[in-house]
Structure 1
Amino acid sequence: MSRSERSPLLLAGLLAAAGTALPHSLKGMGGAPIAVPRQFDHTVPRSLPGSPRTWTYASGAVELAPAAGLASPRTRRTAALAAAAFFAGVFPANVKTAVDWRHRPAPQKAAALGRLPLQVPLVLWARGVAKGAEGRS
């Protein structure tokens, strides 16, 4: 399997793991956990209507949908574009976490700040997968 064939599957794995919180052993680290939602409810802006838990679950589902779509060449382009939009869309939550964690111990603060520049390569990776899927069916 070539690198270009693995890239969509790796991105799908990342999104699936983030959506289910498998790699999130540290409290508050990561995307939208379906398995451990309480740890992520604090990232939901208070200005959003409804329960933070509802938004946490919705965010996890939004991560899982492109993960599933990336697995199939027929839906890969659309799923990759959705993943790019998701990565850009969660940036405000990551900023909120970095601000909220500014007084936490150095490792947590560093992790929260370190997530911010990682959004750019994630968006570019997803866009690259979408571009690689153009014209394929």
Structure 2
Amino acid sequence: MRSDPRALGDLTRAVPEIVLERLGRVTSRVQEESPLPADVLESDEEYRVVLDAPGATASDVQVQVVDGELEVRIDRFRPFNEGFEMVFPGRGLELDGSVSLPSNAIRPDSASATLTDYGTLVVTIPKTETNDAANDTAAV
């Protein structure tokens, strides 16, 4: 029994497409399962947490502070591109991250978050004034 050479040609074209798609899905999954990396900066007045959120819009981002833990969730969406086929779905769509901050030293009710046009999320959380800081200020 002979095999159809066209079927073999179709198979050799299909295998790389299947491998790329599966590899893309694995890459996407790894990104989704890994915690969102963050830089934490501290000044005398506030903490600033910087996270990368490329492709996200403000409505994709959820930020909350619970017991000193800054929690960030990003639910990105892939827009449909007419005339194009998804070959490598490598970007994670559901990203999570958290940063521990001293709960007794922050004012989460005064926190703010900004998403830049370049996809950088900057969360600013003011510090509470300590008695030492208040005394230093009063003594000046």
Q: Which of the two has higher C-alpha Rg?
A: 2
Could you say which TM-score interval applies, normalised by the shorter chain? under 0.3
With normalisation by structure 2, the TM-score equals: 0.26
**Which one has more relative contact order, counting CA pairs under 8 Å at least 6 apart?**
2
Normalization by structure 1: what TM-score? 0.27
Structure with a larger share of its residues in helix: 1
Write 1 or 2 for the structure with the bigger share of strand: 2
